[in-house]
Amino acid sequence: MTILGIKPVANRVRAVPVAAKPGQWLGAGGSMIVESDKQSGSARKQYIGVVTMLDVVAHIAGDDGESGLDKKMAAPVSSIIGHCPEGLSLWSLNPNTSIMDCMEMLSKGIHRVLVPLDSNIENITGPELVESASAYAMLTQMDLISFFLDRSSELHGILSHTVTDLSAIHNTVLALTSEARVKDAIKCMSTEMLNAVPIVEASTEEEDHKQLVDGKNRRVLGTFSASDLKGCHLATLRSWLPLNALDFVEKIPRTPLFTAATSTLGRELVTCHVTSTLAQVIHMVTTKRVHRVWVVDQNDRLQGLVSLTDIIATGRSALLSGAQDCL
């Protein structure tokens, strides 16, 4: 699968739209989103869904042995669309959609949408969308949050509030213990449909390291993310599956596939505190290019998390409350 190779790593790609020959596929959610030639209007390709790294993780999870992994890695990308719920729907927004309406969609767990550069919506029948455009851009949650940062002077009344004041913190966080292996991490994330989990200090008591645990009040040591697997070719992935998950995330910066892509970002743990402002958290996620920040106390013990979805949802709620109406 190309998605596991060098190109997504170099471009820091976490998800890709999947295109096929027009007229031969039913798009995700019954949609018919077609890219057409600008001059002739003839269809060039049809978007049938989006594949994320979580789809890939869910696809390769399981106890099938090496032969099973070979077969899974040889599967066409079209066969893994929809392993996670987001892939079951292909979302598109009109270019004239307001920022507030964009925020509403992206505050509901939708991470990315297609935006036609010149749209021609032919008809809408129930949930089915028939749309044609000469080209599409992708709008992501990160794009929207970067826009907030660019408008920080206008949004100061909201961004200066703490994440606690804005109720942006999820207080319960599932985590891996520091004794978990990569293969167990992949299974757990696939089962719970989680893009990333914190790695916390293992308890001195006996516990099942093959399962996720409540990470509350445990010291955070690292982050295991589906995106960490982007540079894994088949032989590399096979050799890494038995590794301790914490050792794995520490090896990543030293692998050739990741060096160029991550040299400016580093692999440091990205955390905030309950007293951190929304502006500080937005600066963290946009600078470090992470999709969640772990909330810790002064002893680095986990208290919760703030995700991109949380940031957008709380920002929109604050705007609707009348604090700002500039968007």
pLDDT at 250: 82
What span, in angstroms and rounded, lies between the C-alpha atoms of 123 and 119? 12
pLDDT at 3: 38
pLDDT at 300: 92
pTM of the model: 0.83
Instruction: Mention every residue, 6+ apart, whose C-beta is less than 8 A from residue 63.
Output: none
What span, in angstroms and rounded, lies between the C-alpha atoms of 207 and 19? 45
Which tokens sit at 43? 């269809």
pLDDT at 126: 40
The beta-strand segments (E) located in the chain are 15-20, 32-36, 43-52, 112-116, 119-125, 128-133, 136-140, 174-177, 196-200, 213-214, 220-225, 271-272, 292-296, 302-307
pLDDT at 6: 33
pLDDT at 227: 83
For 270, phi then psi, to 5°, come to -105, 115
pLDDT at 121: 56
Q: What is the mean pLDDT of each run of 10 residues along the chain (327 residues)?
A: 38 74 68 78 82 85 68 84 76 87 91 80 47 84 93 91 95 95 91 93 86 96 87 73 88 61 57 97 94 95 97 93 56
pLDDT at 283: 95
The beta-strand segments (E) located in 154-270 are 174-177, 196-200, 213-214, 220-225
pLDDT at 253: 63
pLDDT at 63: 59
